[in-house]
Structure 1
Amino acid sequence: MTQEAHDVIVVGGGIGGLGTALALARSGVPAHVLERAPEFSEVGAGLQVGPNAVRALDRLGLLDEVYATAVFPRRGVVSSALTGETLTTLDLGDGFRERFGYPYVVLHRNDVLSPLLEACRAHPLVSLENDRTVAQVVDTGDRVRVCCDDGHELTSKLVVGADGLNSRVRTLIADDDPVFSGYVAFRGATPIKATTAAEDESDVRLWIGPNVHLMQYPVRSGTMYNQVAVFRVSDASEEQDGWGSDALLERFSPMCDEVRSTVAAHAEATAYPNFDKEPLGTFVAGRAVVIGDAAHPMLQYLGQGACQALEDGLTLAATLGGQVDDLSGLARYDALRVPRTTRCQRSARPWGESWHTTDPILGAYRDRYLRMRAPDDYNELAWLYDDALASLLGPVEQEMETRR
């Protein structure tokens, strides 16, 4: 069988995969992307993009395109789902932008994917292929053989797994199963006129309560609302048929009027079970490396899934140094990314548990702490949003400028 030979094959054409392909190409490394879907698209609706990921998009040359459809929220607001009381606010305005160098934006997931896709299509070192489902990845020592389920085979010097929670590439590193969090999320976007519990349409709003939370923010230049309603299922083995609108409404029935009415208006949204995995000790095995959810699937509470995937791609391109004949740079990629993403994974779990606690004492202490914090207190966010990659990416960015 004839095999196509490539320098790098990226398995998965989501935000992380396309961002990695573009970062590699801008550093001089050709990248071939395999996507199993007939078209490049993103599952889900809204996306919160912290300044670390906005910075990454800037480094990829996509800031103007992303800003064109982004919403720049004025505040983040956390309220009690039971009483509706505002517990704390986070100033996302000028002070936030001055502190971190970039804003916090919210937008539709496809409004990040589309500019990435167009940039990849326009770059001569990126090639894209749809309808290719990878069935097996074999490291032969000097190359990697990628076998698709239709019999098509390719080889490369390096394979990048950007193929999500059930990554085929990850099996070269670990044989582990996803961990169900016990929660399901109803996600969807509706016209902004439909309904909202938010007083200010530019706010990112979060209501937290026993075993539930509701998140809401505007997308598509403020013409639509993204809503995520999350609740704990009665049993971790409960069938998805039990995750319908009746279960959603029942779980939110003890909450305040504004939360109940908003959830009821969006009860037909799609249910997604929430999974993560235990952190890995390495993201590298021979000529294979994983990024994004293939490397470090995390629960959504820090809003960092896609953000960390974009950081992964830039870091991988930087540590490879513009070539894939010598893969010694993978060790540095590992050393930089494993600790940071592990912290994200491990932080997200207790953060989510604090939102959903049913312990009245713990809930009271949580609310007391939230009421005491100042809107411009950014100390807890610094480790996420400061430029952790400046010293690594500075020289590479200069080299990328010369290649344009």
Structure 2
Amino acid sequence: MAPPIQIKQQEIRPQSCQLKVIIVGAGLAGLGSSISCALAGHLVHVLEAAHEIKEVGAGIQILPNSSRVLQHWGLEKSLTPHMTIPRVCNFLGWKGNFISSMNFRESEKNYPGTWYRDFHRADLQQCLLDRAVELGVGLTCNARITDVSVSGDGTTATATSFDGRRWTGDLIIGADGVFGKLTEELLGRVDSPVKTGDLAFRVMLSTEEMQKDPELVEFVTDPQVNYWLGPDAHAVNYVLRNGKLFNMVLIVPDDIPEESLAPTIEGNVEEMCAWFKDWDPRIPKLLKLCQSVQKWRLCIRFGDFDWTHPSGAFVMLGDAVHAALPYLASGAGMSFEDGAVLGECLSRLPNRPDISKTSTEFLNAKQHALFVFQKCRKQRTKMVVERGNIQQYLYHYHDGPEQQERDRKMQMVPTPEGEALAWRDPGLAAQLLGYDHIADVDRRWSEASGRAAAESRL
């Protein structure tokens, strides 16, 4: 049996070495960062634009790399009642023909102590919020931040809300998501997300009617993740909340009007059903149970620039700088890793009563910590964004030679690099799923410290 992931204990810091951290955004990236920074012993306050912390219904898959972070933050006990444990991931053709599958239990053995689980996003977010509050994190809602300014001496930054309220901290963390505007505050220029040409229909069903249908009941009684791959579209589904809810995401070409400013709009159930009427008969059956649906425009972004302000008082993370297509189920994982790495870096700041956070030694250490954070995160998140773009093509082949070659590779044992079931791709899986943020920080910290020491001797 694999040893459990070590739970990080909250550090105690003298006030003189305790950063005042302001986090903008209470999504998964913001709340995860708040937990990690609080565990590092810093004073943390989260600002959220919404009137309350309330996540709309959606499912989320947690992969081994994400589970490592969540366990490290001490969340496994609170998350356990909300988990669904999927047995297998099936890849199917759009007509329902079986292509290949991956057993989750077998895959977990490659990453000791970790797991695959499915959650309702609202449950996951609530557990993060509860943990943050338990660690002393403050929260202010209805605080839509429109401006971030750095002090003249560069030691602090101030976030200003739409109604003129201000919050000043030693470090502001921007985590306002793919459609947020704080990246533009950092850069001083427009930086819009990139449309991918795809949109997602999000569907959440009660399983009550499904369990009456012999063709659908297995989806509930035998928890599984299913991908159907078809021309220009694909569908994903899995069960949530102990079999009470069924989550479906259906990807089709983006037809949201260009002038639409909202990334999510009300969808049309009949339009969605028409898209999938000729697919595996189980999909139309499921969609007939749907009463309403949302359309979600899929955009990406990758910040190929410094995510940290030169002062070291303002840093960006999460989807605000590296939003990927959801086709690796890794967006939340990258945000959790961001928060974990940043907290680990900030835990290595000086922690003794004879030093002040305004001293040269401390400020230099803070700059070093943010440098290491970016070194750890930029290349890895770029990899995920780029691989998500590749999955877009792999999933949406029309029937023909390319589709047949994709399916042939997925049926090989072992499968070759670049295969469509990315979680077992020998060129990606270990790198993506086996990530250890502490080991990464250790390595990068030593590299950066060695480089700095060599430069100082020149």
TM-score by length of 1: 0.89
**Residues 309-328 of structure 1: matches in 2 within 5 Å?**
309-321=335-347, 323=349, 325-326=362-363, 327-328=366-367
SS of residue paired to 2:197: strand
CA drift at 1:63: 0.8
> What is the correspondence of 1:249-264 to structure 2 with a 5 Å cutoff?
249-264=273-288
Query: 2:379 is aligned with what amino acid?
Result: P
Q: Structure 1 pair 231/194, CA: closer, same or farther in 2 (3 Å)? A: farther
Unaligned runs of 5+ residues in structure 2 are 1-18, 350-356, 416-422, 444-458
CA contact 2:265–2:296 (8 Å) conserved in 1: no
Deviation, 1:103, is: 1.2
Please say if residues 266 and 294 of structure 2, whose CA atoms lie closer than 8 Å, have aligned partners that are also in contact.
Answer: no
Q: Which amino acid aligns with 1:330?
A: L
Residue 136 (str. 1) matches residue 147 (str. 2): yes
Could you tell me how far apart the structure 2 residues matched to 1:282 and 1:264 are?
48
1:293 aligned residue: 319
Return the structure number with greater relative CO, CA threshold 8 A, min gap 6: 1
Cα 1:374–1:217 shift into 2, 3 Å: farther
Cα deviation for residue 377 of structure 1 reads 4.9
- How far apart are the structure 2 equivalents of 1:377 and 1:348? 15
CA distance in structure 2 between the aligned counterparts of 1:361 and 1:335, rounded to whole angstroms: 41
1:58: which partner in 2? 71
Instruction: Write the deviation string for residues 371-395 of structure 1: whole angstroms up to 9, x where unpaired.
Output: 2256995634111110332425689
- The aligned counterpart of 2:15 is none
For residues 282 and 86 of structure 1, the distance between their equivalents in structure 2, rounded to whole angstroms, comes to 45
Contact preservation (8 Å) 1:161, 1:168: no
Instruction: Report if aligned partners of 2:50, 2:141 keep a CA contact under 8 Å in 1.
Output: yes
Task: Indicate yes or no: 2:67 matched with 1:90.
Answer: no
Q: Secondary structure at the match of 2:405?
A: helix
Amino acid at match of 1:24: C
> SS of 2:91's equivalent?
strand
Distance (Å, rounded) in 1 between the aligned partners of 2:387 and 2:91: 18
* Distance in 2 of aligned mates of 1:69 and 1:292: 24
Query: Aligned-pair distance for 1:256?
Result: 2.6
CA separation of 1:73 and 1:12: change in aligned 2, threshold 3 A: same
Partner of 1:400: none
Equivalent AA in structure 2 for residue 7 of structure 1: K
Describe the shift of the 1:200–1:246 C-alpha distance in structure 2 as closer, same or farther (beyond 3 A).
closer
Number of equivalences? 388
Match of 2:4 in 1: none
Aligned CA distance change for structure 1 residues 393 and 67 (closer, same or farther; 3 Å): farther
Stretch moving more, 177-186 or 57-66: 177-186
* SS of match in other structure, 2:50: coil
CA RMSD of aligned residues (A): 2.5
| Cα distance in 2 for residues equivalent to 1:373 and 1:242 | 43
Counterpart Cα distance in 1 of 2:205 and 2:120: 11
> Structure 1 residue 350: deviation in Å?
1.2
Deviation string, structure 1 residues 14-47 (Cα, Å, up to 9, x no partner):
1111111111111111111001111112244100
The residue aligned with 1:21 is 34
State how 1:209-358 maps to structure 2 within 5 Å.
209-233=230-254, 237=258, 244-266=268-290, 268-286=292-310, 287-321=313-347, 323=349, 325-326=362-363, 327-328=366-367, 329-358=369-398
What SS class does the counterpart of residue 32 from structure 1 fall into?
A: strand
Q: Which structure has the bigger radius of gyration?
A: 2
Contact in 2 for aligned 1:209/1:355 (Cα 8 Å):
yes
- Picking from 160, 171, 183, the partner of 2:198 is 183
State the Cα deviation string for residues 94-126 of structure 1 (Å, max 9, x = none): x222211211100101121111111111223x1
- Whole-angstrom CA distance in 1 between matches of 2:258 and 2:413: 38
Tell me what 2:161 maps to.
148
Single out whichever of 107-116 and 47-56 deviates more from structure 2: 107-116
* SS of structure 2 residue aligned to 1:365: helix
What is the deviation of 1:200? 4.3
Identity, in percent, stands at 25
